[in-house]
Amino acid sequence: MAQVISERRDVEFVLHEQFQVEELSKHERFADFNKKTVNMIVGEARNLAIKELLPIWKEGDEQGCTFEGGKVTVPESFKRAYDLFNEGEWLAMNEDPMWGGQGMPHVVSQAAAEYFNGANYPFMMYPGLTHGAGKLVETFGTDEQKTLYLKKLYSGQWGGTMLLTEPCAGSDVGALETIATRNADGTFSISGSKIFISGGEHEMVENIIHPVLARIEGAPAGTRGISLFLVPKYRLKEDGSPGEFNDVVCTGIEHKMGIHGNCTCSLTLGGKGECIGTLLGEENKGMAHMFLMMNEARLLVGMQGFACASAAYMYAVDYAKQRVQGANLTKPKDGGVPIIQHPDVRRQLLTMKAYVEAMRSTLYYVGLCRDHMHTAETDDEKEMYAGLIEILTPVAKGYVTDRAFEMCSQAVQVYGGYGFIEEYPVSQLLGDCRITLIYEGTNGIQAMDLLGRKLGMKKGKIFMDLMGQISKTVAQAKEVENLAPFAARVDNSLKKLGEVAMHMGKTAMSEKVLNAFSFAHPFLDITGDVVMAWMLLWRGVAAAKGLEKAKKKDLAFYEGQLKSLDFFTGCVLPVSEGKMEMIKATNEAIMDISEDSFIC
């Protein structure tokens, strides 16, 4: 069985032919990142992923994490991999070198992240959350907090988490009960319990820094009264090194469907009244501050789900080319053939191919938008790219993980009965992928965010900006003779999406608001479908250029890009347009049915 996680040729195609990342090096900020350097970085990431992270993925799943006496033990092999990861300075790829970062473009780090997460995303949760905690400190921390924490977080010497969820406050964060009491020295005593904390306790690092949401005594109820605090596992000595234990106690870990290599902890803070934290940012602004980490985490979750789908697709293709079962339908007397010759298997593989390619481009594009925010020449341009990130985040997290799980399931189906057996990798990918639809805001919440916040943001401007960017690609594709039919299909779906968006916006602001939100998830689906079609059309434009000068070895790749576009616009968009008509009808049965009509 081949050790495969991502299609290297396609990664290079997105970076250099679709998005032309070497153009970023013309800007002073990214001057060091020419094409040769980018390829070297991505190549090194791939090597580390294949040689070090992938071999311990299965072992991590089988060993899992153990809990005993308040201590958590992670899979034995993870410590060496964690040290190698940190030695390569991969944790803070995009961050300022003055704090230990590498300052590379986000779109390049997306490629590295795909390899890392495709190889072993349960492992990658440890550095991923650490980076998010560091970003909070960098953005909202005082000079003293940055000096104490930032380099040690960005280097991976210390770990990081995010402490939001509580037994009575899951998606409704405003219901949290953790309390912060003022101390005379300006610190706060923290008391409460948190659950579902990824990487909340382990021994791979000498200290773990917990950004904690809590309510200062007397603060307003709900999210308006939440503040953010830095709570280290070990308090810091005057020289900044870890000192005495800070009364952050792990009370247990969860036994889960997947991601067994990552510990999901329950933590009690201040059980003995000795948990001390410092305010991070402004009082009562904790929820707004934490959204910085949450939005980063949502994009990371989209990458996690996609990386599972990418790996699953690669495994499925490899298996389908080798597995001999049944005769070719047109040559029944010739004996068994590889199952990739069977029409239904080819349908599954092409479905996976199209979605994986479109999802890759979407996630990389969000990274590219971040880079363009730095290279933008005007405030209006910078604002546009910031808006595109906002509108695409629920797509990149919600839609992508929905489709990623479906693609993992398709891979299991390609394997047949063997796909259900844990000896083969696709079953673990399916189990690992499932949580991505849930954590960092369920996909239902992502849909509500798209409809309730992002659609009307800035009076609809950012949604119109997204449609404008798609229209630019449509116009380019119409100038290419063999792409014109596909461009017309995408254009038609885009116009219908605009009609549905107007309908949903009006309905959400009427007395039928609940009916509108009952179709929020289908609205996310159709928005995602059009975004995927956009990315495949954009790829088609790049592939058409590539074909003009392609060598024989590249012909199949470029032709395959056009087949993905043909399939998606011909077989997926018509279904999407049917969903659009369904949404415009806004059937009221969902909200009209009585609760008693649901069987208990």
Q: What is the mean pLDDT of residues 536-549?
A: 97
Domains 8-154 and 159-287 share a fold: no
- Sketch the domain layout of the chain as residue ranges: 8-154, 159-287, 458-591
Going by their DSSP bridges, the two strands 179-182 and 159-160 should be labelled as unpaired
pLDDT per residue as tens digits for the range 323-351: 999 999 999 888 999 999 999 999 999 99
Contact of 271 with 259, CB cutoff 8 Å: no
Q: With CA atoms as reference, report the closest residue to 219 among 186, 185, 182.
A: 182
Q: What is the mean pLDDT of residues 20-37?
A: 96
Please tell me what DSSP assigns to residue 252: E
Chain center to CA of 270:
33
pLDDT of residue 353: 98
Which residue has better confidence, 139 or 70?
139
pLDDT per residue as tens digits for the range 417-451: 999 999 999 999 999 999 999 999 999 999 999 99
The SS3 call for residue 213 is: strand
DSSP-assigned states of every residue in 302-353: HHHHHHHHHHHHHHHHHHHHH-EEEE-TT-GGG-EEEGGGSHHHHHHHHHHH
pLDDT per residue as tens digits for the range 48-90: 999 999 999 999 999 999 999 889 999 999 999 999 999 999 9
Looking at the domain 159-287, which fold is it? Butyryl-CoA Dehydrogenase, subunit A; domain 2 (2.40.110)
> How far apart are alpha carbons 269 and 260 in whole angstroms?
24
Q: What is the mean pLDDT of residues 200-222?
A: 96
Q: What is the mean pLDDT of residues 215-240?
A: 95
* The one catalytic residue among 440, 511, 548, 581: 440
Say yes or no to pLDDT of 194 above 90: yes
Q: Which two structure tokens, joined as six digits, stand for 544?
A: 């058409």
Q: What is the mean pLDDT of residues 84-110?
A: 95
Q: What is the mean pLDDT of residues 499-525?
A: 97
Q: Which two structure tokens, joined as six digits, stand for 295?
A: 């939005």
Going by their DSSP bridges, the two strands 264-269 and 159-160 should be labelled as unpaired
Name the average pLDDT for the chain. 96
Say yes or no to pLDDT of 3 above 70: no
Buried/exposed 504-532: b ≥16 CB within 10 Å, e otherwise: bbebbeeeeeebbbbbbbbbbbbbbbbbb
Q: pLDDT band for 170, please (50, 70, 90 cuts).
A: confident
Write down the residue that tokens 């159709």 correspond to: 526
CATH superfamily of 8-154: Acyl-CoA dehydrogenase/oxidase, N-terminal domain (1.10.540.10)
pLDDT of residue 600: 67
Is the overall model pTM greater than 0.75, yes or no?
yes
If one counts every other C-beta atom within 10 angstroms of the C-beta of residue 430, the result is 22
Buried/exposed 52-65: b ≥16 CB within 10 Å, e otherwise: bbbebbeebbebbb
> How far apart are alpha carbons 361 and 6 in whole angstroms?
13
Q: pLDDT band for 2, please (50, 70, 90 cuts).
A: low
pLDDT per residue as tens digits for the range 247-268: 999 999 999 999 999 999 999 9
If one counts every other C-beta atom within 10 angstroms of the C-beta of residue 191, the result is 19
Please tell me what DSSP assigns to residue 163: B
The question of whether 144 is a catalytic residue gets the answer: no
Q: pLDDT band for 172, please (50, 70, 90 cuts).
A: confident
**H or E, element range at 159:** strand 159-160
pLDDT per residue as tens digits for the range 353-382: 999 999 999 999 999 999 999 999 999 999
Please tell me what DSSP assigns to residue 219: P
> How far apart are alpha carbons 114 and 161 in whole angstroms?
21
pLDDT of residue 560: 97
pLDDT of residue 169: 79
Please report, rounded to a whole number, the percentage of residues in the chain having pLDDT higher than 90: 94
